[in-house]
Chains A and B, each alone.
Chain A
């Protein structure tokens, strides 16, 4: 029983981080219809920005804020300098459909090499701001710690904030209009290019939070070669697909589902299934409900 609760809590925490990555993938997908495979590289860059900030200031939370701003700026620059040109140039041709995928993969390679060049390949340490030792109930120690509680709180707050932005503000309205039909939105006076940049910036900030929380959830050490970050990309993508790629809430549900299922598989079947479990889950989802949990029928073909 106690193990069950612990497994569930582990799953929810890692699921919350996957959910953040999924949110950042969904934001880009909604604004430009592109899956950004460089997202994990951008998250890693933002994490290093946070790491650099911590050398000058003492507060993890300020570093998080700086990383978010840095991530947003990088993401916006990528949209302006690369995606706009790309989508203008390769709207037709044999690889029009896959050109953005390939371009973002190239970007991932460049980003990884650049950050290795700047920060080196060795492990860097970010000390988690809160304790990572679990709460105790009676004689039992939960794996649930103040840090994990904070992670879940931050993810919940970000989801609410992003939902409010998308659903209630005029920026959100323009975002949705630009995603629904760029042509119509343009005619209605929406500055589609600016709105897309906005979507990418939001996504970059969200990815930055995912990166820093991922490190804080572990033992605090990370490097440019961290396998966790390739996993973060794949988990985020799978979570986004489970949620249907369109909806913010779906992304969070997908992330949590993926985190919990993976935690149970690792605990009760075999911990060596770490890499293969997400893949199996993705295939199952694509077969049973290709449009995702909250996706609409036909959305898959977009």
Chain B
């Protein structure tokens, strides 16, 4: 109890938070001008992972449900964005909106099914979804089959100058979308819905006795989380330029879950940790392996081994994530003083 009352007193006002996000955006802008092409591309990847991981944190950390099929929802978002761009010629911001809405719709359906399931059953059902859904795309010619569809957000506007590269443009769009999404998500977490989810996570029975409609709250969590996943899917599709079944494999779902666990699923504060790890770790391990002069096979497989081991160690020793771990340690220290 003491902890929560303390948190209230240190909670930032909305204006200050908005200011922080604007400053953050400005810093990202400065950063994008000072790094090379590869780093800008990786920046766009980090942005997309941040949204994807946030969608899992919302679902798992705040409402206690686990989804192994988040990649499928990303696929829904990606395809919705590409289709609306190709068929209706919608401008890019609107295609993102379509992606969010389509994925949220799919998430609502999934959530209604999921509200009846718990633990391993939900995990298994969403896992089956992650394998099954991308293969549907092969069925319909409108979805482009195995090759998929193009999703081209176009060249950066000429007013930005000739030096302005395509990837930098991606990075700008992705960062802006991510900042807005995270700001919105923080607001939701602080609203009565966020408190409702926290109550459910604490104890379903107690929350129900306090008058919370558990099923409705869970479906809402699923819907909002899927909407975020849809945005992440559209960002991913933008970065790689196409959507196809192979762009949303089972491994994507697993990566997002890994990122969420490394970030800590109970708080949004660590979301960058997971996203940066997902992007940076393969490169770091690859560089080390190359320095050591190991073979190609080691270079491709070692990152997976490191990542999997990291995931296991995190679950065993820091189940709530590094940020929460530090906070609880601080609280303990204060108590002992």
Residues of chain A whose beta carbon lies under 8 Å from any beta carbon of chain B: 29, 35, 37, 82, 85-86, 89-90, 93-99, 101-103, 105-110, 112-114, 116-117, 120, 230-231, 234, 237-238, 241, 245, 272, 274-276, 278-279, 282-283, 286-287, 290, 300-302
> Closest CB-CB distance, B208 to chain A, in whole Å?
14
Indicate whether B27 reaches chain A with its CB closer than 8 angstroms: no
> Closest CB-CB distance, B238 to chain A, in whole Å?
27
What 20 additional pairs, Cβ within 8 angstroms, besides A37-B123, A98-B66? A29-B120, A86-B316, A90-B315, A90-B319, A95-B261, A97-B64, A97-B66, A101-B68, A102-B257, A103-B315, A106-B307, A116-B297, A116-B301, A117-B302, A117-B305, A230-B131, A274-B135, A276-B135, A279-B125, A301-B118
Known: A35-B124, A37-B127, A94-B320. A106 touches B312 (CB 8 A): yes
Top 10 nearest A-B pairs (CB, nearest first) are A106-B311, A109-B308, A113-B304, A110-B308, A275-B135, A279-B132, A35-B120, A279-B128, A98-B66, A113-B301
Residues of B within 8 A of A241 (CB): 121, 124
> Closest CB-CB distance, B115 to chain A, in whole Å?
11
Residues of A within 8 A of B326 (CB): none
Decide if A286 touches B315 in the complex (CB within 8 Å). no
Residues of A within 8 A of B298 (CB): 117
**Of B135, B266, B316, the contact of A90 (CB 8 Å cutoff):** B316
Decide if A114 touches B305 in the complex (CB within 8 Å). yes
- Closest Cβ neighbor of B198 among chain A residues: A94
CA gap between A286 and B120 in the complex, in Å: 12
Residues of B within 8 A of A290 (CB): 116-117, 121
- What 1/0 flags go to B268-296 for Cβ under 8 Å of A? 00000000000000000000000000000
Decide if A89 touches B138 in the complex (CB within 8 Å). no
Residues of chain B whose beta carbon lies under 8 Å from any beta carbon of chain A: 60-61, 64, 66, 68, 113, 116-121, 123-125, 127-129, 131-133, 135-136, 138-139, 201, 250, 254, 257-258, 261, 265-266, 297-298, 300-302, 304-305, 307-312, 315-317, 319-320
**Secondary structure dominating the interface of A:** helix
- 16 cross-chain CB contacts under 8 A: A35-B120, A85-B316, A89-B317, A96-B319, A101-B119, A105-B254, A106-B308, A109-B308, A109-B311, A113-B302, A113-B304, A113-B305, A272-B135, A274-B135, A286-B116, A301-B118
Decide if B68 touches A105 in the complex (CB within 8 Å). yes
- Closest Cβ neighbor of A235 among chain B residues: B128
Known: A89-B316, A105-B254. A94 touches B201 (CB 8 A): yes
Residues of B within 8 A of A105 (CB): 68, 254, 257-258, 311
Residues of A within 8 A of B307 (CB): 106, 109
Decide if A95 touches B265 in the complex (CB within 8 Å). yes
Decide if B297 touches A95 in the complex (CB within 8 Å). no
Decide if A110 touches B309 in the complex (CB within 8 Å). yes
> Closest CB-CB distance, B273 to chain A, in whole Å?
16
> Closest CB-CB distance, A121 to chain B, in whole Å?
8
Decide if A93 touches B319 in the complex (CB within 8 Å). yes
CA gap between A86 and B119 in the complex, in Å: 16
Decide if A114 touches B301 in the complex (CB within 8 Å). yes
